[in-house]
Amino acid sequence: MRSRWVSSGEGIPLVMVAGWATDYQVFLDIPTDRKVMIIDQYDPFLFPQFLAQLFESEGILTADFIGFSMGGYAVLQFCNAYPQFCGKITLLGVRPVYPASELRFFLKALAKGDVVSLLTGFYQAAMSKLAYDIFEKTLLPEYLLAFSGDDLERGIRYLSEFGNLNLVEKLPASQLRFVHGRDDKIAPIVEIEAFLKEKSIFCEFLCVEGGHIRDYPVPSRKGNFF
């Protein structure tokens, strides 16, 4: 698991957890007025134990979280296993459940060794055309080298087992916030709206412009979105 402090400040730390086939550059808006840790390149199956050990070594007693996509499920698992560490939880682009047929398609492509076309298709679906055109010329070559077939397959198998929002029902609504892209094709907004309504979860819900990855990921860009 790779972790890094990217800004310093006062109060409760904010921990931002990247998703499948993404790294720290997926986060556009990093607060500059608080202490922020970003986590990526982690094994989702081992995430809760590793993060608990990291918190103990860093002396972190409580943290707020932002989990993007697969990172949202990892955050939920951690907060369910170690509730004493958990403050506010923001789930960014997290789907209620991934259909088994979609995950089987991904596993079949990985079994054929078709990593490049699989990732390229995923990024195209995750971004607007304008954002992808920029991404393709800049970060795409780096991303294609960063994620091995084995790592990607392990992430898909994790989604098969834990890629659902069942654990949110064990958390108070006051602890939760959902942020979702209006044009998200990976995690359609209608699904999360229906899920929250069906489960009668009355928490903060914020709809933003953009897709699954809201814009071209520029690590130097700062903002106050979170």
Question: Is-contact 24 215, C-beta < 8 A?
Answer: no
HEC sequence for 11-57:
CCCEEEECCCCCCHHHCCCCCCCCCEEEEECCCCCCHHHHHHHHHHH
Across 38-48, average pLDDT: 96
With bands split at pLDDT 50, 70 and 90, how would you rate the model's confidence at 215?
low
Taking only the tens place, the pLDDT of each residue in 129-144 is 888 998 899 899 999 9
**pTM for this prediction:** 0.93
Q: Which residue has the tokens 């931002």?
A: 16
Domains of the chain in sequence order: 2-97+164-208 (3.40.50.1820)
Taking only the tens place, the pLDDT of each residue in 86-124 is 999 999 999 999 999 999 999 999 999 989 999 999 999
